[in-house]
Structure 1
Amino acid sequence: MAGARLRCAGRLLVCVAVLAIPGRAMAEPEPVTSETRQVAIAARIAGDDNRVRLVMDFERKPDLHLRFLENPDRAVIDLPETVFAFPEDALAPRGLVTSIRYGAAGAGRARMVFELASPATMELVESTEEAEGSIHRVVFDAVAVDRATFAEKVAETIWTDAGAGPRSLSEASLSDTLTIVIDAGHGGIDGGAEGPSGSMEKHITLAFAEALKEALEGEDGIRVAMTRSDDSFLSLSARVRRAREEQADLLISLHADSIRIKSLRGATVYTLSDKASDAVAQSLAEQENGAEGIVGASLENAPEAVAAILVDLARTETRVFSTGLARQVLDSFEGQVKLINNPLRHAGFRVLQAPDVPSVLVEMGYLSNPEDEKLLTDPEWRRSTARLLAQSVQNYRKTILAGRQ
């Protein structure tokens, strides 16, 4: 692809091919030869809701790494660079396996992803030579297990190996520093919501962003950047680009919307999902995503030409980390900041759609509620809540560091 480079996804190091971002050098892939390239000659799958068998034939003995992921449940097989020479319909989903994706996963690597209908183990049960050594056959069995057993498999998964395999966020950075990009919602001509007393969302989010920046800068191992530091308009896609340009480990987008239900008040934390968790989440996502229309901005659903399988995988990995941060935020708010019922929600907020940057949208409260408006405009409440949010980021960072041990 002309102008493409390899970008390691949001420090997750799930590599995706994307259009080059100005100011960054193009990565040079390692040369691949016929001696290092693997060929998958044939594949077949059979089974039901309780057990599925996968059989694959290779030109030579493959170097396989099996890993597991949750939300959704998946088994992942990592391989050296592999040509998948079998027919596309050879691996049709069935039984326990609801989706199968495979393809290149960066320079010198390939990946197969098996999405599971329910928790299941997947074990290599056989590796044999056939046809006088000209074919190397491997057999995997996927077997349904309970949630606790699958969670143990996920916890045991290691995303590093002696070669150049993908790594998780917890092992990605060479330093212990996390880069946090704070996004103050709205700005400029886009004022956002307005409270009963005339408070404007764009001013509230910027003031809170500045308080959060100050609180985070007092924490060890944190570098902070902001999408805007004044009353200027930024498109949603520009906010996402800003986070990626900063090579953000996390994006925190701050909002204080209005809603028709005037009695609704309290904080909410949103993560990205293709389908909204409820009608309130859907309404707010539509409201936020439509904000650019007031200045005729071009909305970019997919601003980069990417290999769909890799972007989907990167986005799935990123959502796992986003959910982890969201839970840390809610834990820090519990008992200190009023929360709405079911405060962890999800919807298709465009500002959260970077495939490679873990992101959350923090709805600090609702300007449509007079009590929330009073708190949102209170400097002391702002400082104390910013400190709690900063502590949740530090707690999240510590869980990442602990994963390196």
Structure 2
Amino acid sequence: MLPAPARIGAARLGDHGDKTRFVLELTRDTPFAILPDSQGVTVEMEAALDAPLPAAKGLVRAIAVRPGASPGQLRLILSTSAPVRVLLAEVIPPRDGMPPRFVMDLAAGVAGKGSAMTPVSAGTLKPPMSKEKAKPSLPLVVIDPGHGGQDPGAIALNGLREKDITLAMAKELRRQLLATGRYRVALTRDKDQFIPLRDRPAIARTKGADLFISLHADSITGKQVRGLSIYTLSEKASDREAEMLAQRENQSDAIVGMDLSVQSADIATILIGMSQRDTMNQSRRFASLVLRNLDPSIAVLPSPLRSAGFAVLTAPDVPAVLVEMGYLSHSQDAKLLGSDAHRRRMAGSLLRAVDGYFTGNAVPLRP
């Protein structure tokens, strides 16, 4: 017996400055295709429309509905005020009491020759002009090398700067992750560039990150203190962040696919807090995997699993950790962090943790 066709129960647009987000609430996951052209974007989907279409907003100046190429299909034709490129198009599974949602992000500009014009979500989804079954998209890991530009971070006695160490480590981790063929990887910076703290998790969210890893190598007054530690967002910091997000004027992107601007501040705070709690649980799970999969040669602090209110950890819907790889104030840590061999070992440890997080196949190296 064939399943009942998906139905669209709500449709909305959100203007987020650098992008326009189109969201459809669905009764179930359903195949779709994205058909960009010079006049806008067409979404072809196996679904029935039960909701009014939203008014023009952002880059979208009108939305029209037409029958699709096959029975049971419809086409939503988004006319835009300028040529656009598709940054993201996927169906988000049900979570936090919300139904499945189709989410598409549009930005001004034209995709380059040979670039992917049709990002698709996992499932039985087909890109246009192709009869082959689409492959599930690979998880996206965003790596954040701490500091950069005019902000050097900590400086060791041997002259090593934290911003250089974190960038070198990020590139090695990216190399090892990509070599597996199991992940997509992006860096918040791939050169000596200053990026404000709040912009770093925002980059991860814009790219649709599945995991965010921020890398640091601090210094401390106690010069005998050495070893790695890993931080997740603290409960108190999460509460403050949820309240701040709920009070912001534009709340429609506070949680992916959920427009909170129609909710009261109290309800918005509760919903953001619920999303953050789930994200924090996932963050702690990954942090534990990092510690269990560390190469035995890598020293750790006593009680290395910690929490704090770091700004880079405050995205409500992207699991995130901050890895303090060691202390540049300790001569041995500083020497190791400047070593290619040590970076390879540490990147290998993080790779095993990422494998464990997404597949459960990693073999822990520590009890």
Q: Per the shorter chain, which TM-score range? A: 0.5 to 0.7
Residue in structure 2 matching 1:197, options 158, 163, 177:
158
Q: Does 1:185 align with 2:146?
A: yes
Conservation of the 8 A alpha-carbon contact between 1:20 and 1:26: no
- Whole-Å separation in 2 of the counterparts to 1:222 and 1:233: 26
Alignment of 1:66-77 (within 5 A): none
User: How many angstroms apart in 1 are the aligned matches of 2:206 and 2:226?
Assistant: 35
Deviating more after overlay: 349-358 vs 19-28: 19-28
Deviation at 1:335, TM superposition (A): 2.1
Q: Give the conservation status (yes or no) of the 8 Å contact 1:337–1:385.
A: yes
Query: 1:367: which partner in 2?
Result: 328
Q: Distance in 2 between matches of 1:204 and 1:244?
A: 25
The match for 1:26 is 22
Residue 356 of structure 1: CA displacement?
Answer: 0.7
Residue of structure 2 in register with 1:295 after alignment? none
Distance (Å, rounded) in 1 between the aligned partners of 2:236 and 2:225:
22
Does the residue aligned with 2:180 lie in a helix, a strand or coil?
coil
Matched-pair contact (CA < 8 Å) for 2:154–2:162: yes
Task: Give, in whole Å, the separation in 1 of the partners of 2:94 and 2:206.
Answer: 25
1:275 Cα shift? 4.2
1:317, distance to aligned residue in structure 2 (A):
0.7
- Pairs within 5 Å for 1:337-348: 337-348=298-309
Per-residue CA deviations over 1:334-375 (Å, capped at 9, x if unaligned) read 623111101100000000000010000001000011110000
Moved over 4 A (4+): 28-31
Asked if residue 264 in structure 1 is aligned to residue 225 in structure 2, the reply is yes
Q: Work out the CA distance in 1 between the residues paired with 2:158 and 2:25.
A: 58
Q: C-alpha separation between the residues in 2 aligned to 1:395 and 1:246?
A: 22
User: What is the alpha-carbon distance in structure 2 between the residues aligned to residue 220 and residue 230 of structure 1?
Assistant: 24
What TM-score results when the alignment is normalised by the length of structure 1? Answer: 0.52
Asked if 1 retains the 8 angstrom alpha-carbon contact of 2:25 and 2:99, the reply is: no
Helix, strand or coil: the match of 2:141? strand
Q: Which amino acid aligns with 1:190?
A: D
- Structure 1 distance, partners of 2:309, 2:163, is 21
CA apart distance, 1:19: 6.3
CA shift digits 1:278-306 (9 cap, x unpaired): xxxxxxxxxxxxxxxxxxxxxx9646535
Name the CA shift for 1:21/1:345 in 2 (closer, same or farther; >3 Å). Answer: farther
Aligned to 1:318: 279
Change over 3 Å in CA distance of 1:320–1:247 after alignment to 2: same
Runs of 5+ unmatched residues, structure 1: 1-16, 32-158, 277-299
**Aligned partner of residue 213 in structure 2, secondary structure:** strand
Q: Does 1:210 align with 2:171?
A: yes
Classify 1:376/1:244 alpha carbon distance in 2 versus 1 (closer, same or farther; 3 Å). Answer: same
Aligned to 1:394: 355
Cα displacement string for residues 225-258 of structure 1 (whole angstroms, at most 9, x for unaligned residues): 0000000000011111110111000000000001
Aligned length in residues: 231
Instruction: Indicate how the Cα distance of structure 1 residues 326 and 173 shifts in structure 2: closer, same or farther if over 3 A, else same.
Output: farther
Deviation of 1:327 after TM superposition, in Å, equals: 0.7
Specify which of 275, 279, 294 is matched with residue 333 of structure 1: 294
**Cα 1:228/1:375, change in 2 over 3 Å:** same
The sequence identity of aligned pairs, in percent, is: 41
**Is residue 227 from structure 1 mapped to residue 188 from structure 2 by the alignment?**
yes
Tell me, yes or no, if the aligned pair for 1:176 and 1:221 is still in contact at 8 Å: no
Name which one, 1 or 2, has greater alpha-carbon Rg: 1
State how far apart, in whole Å, the 1-side matches of 2:305 and 2:355 are. Answer: 19
Question: Given that residues 279 and 319 in structure 2 are in contact (C-alpha distance below 8 angstroms), is that contact kept between their aligned partners in structure 1?
Answer: yes
**Pairing of 1:4-403 with structure 2 (within 5 A):** 20=16, 22-29=18-25, 165=99, 174=123, 175=136, 177-275=138-236, 302=245, 304-305=250-251, 306=260, 307-333=268-294, 335-399=296-360
SS in 1 for 2:289: helix
2:7 matched residue in structure 1: none
Deviation string, structure 1 residues 167-195 (Cα, Å, up to 9, x no partner):
9xxxx954262100000000000110011
**Root-mean-square deviation (Å):** 3.1
The aligned amino acid for 2:178 is E
Give the secondary structure class of the aligned counterpart of 1:346: strand
What is the distance in 2 between the residues matched to 1:346 and 1:233? Answer: 25
CA-CA distance at 1:389 after TM superposition = 0.8
Tell me by how many angstroms 1:388 deviates. Answer: 1.4
CA distance 1:19–1:335, change in 2 (3 Å): farther
| Residue deviations 1:5-43 (CA, integer Å, cap 9, x gap) | xxxxxxxxxxxx986363243214579xxxxxxxxxxxx
- 1:272 positional shift: 0.4
CA distance in 1 between partners of 2:142 and 2:17 (Å): 18
Structure 2 CA distance for partners of 1:19 and 1:26, relative to 1, 3 Å? same
1:400 to 1:160, Cα distance in 2 relative to 1, 3 A: farther
Q: Distance in 1 between matches of 2:99 and 2:122?
A: 15
Unaligned ranges ≥5, structure 2: 1-12, 28-92, 102-120, 124-135, 238-242, 252-259, 261-267, 363-367
* Cα separation, partners in 2 of 1:176 and 1:329, compared to 1, 3 Å: farther
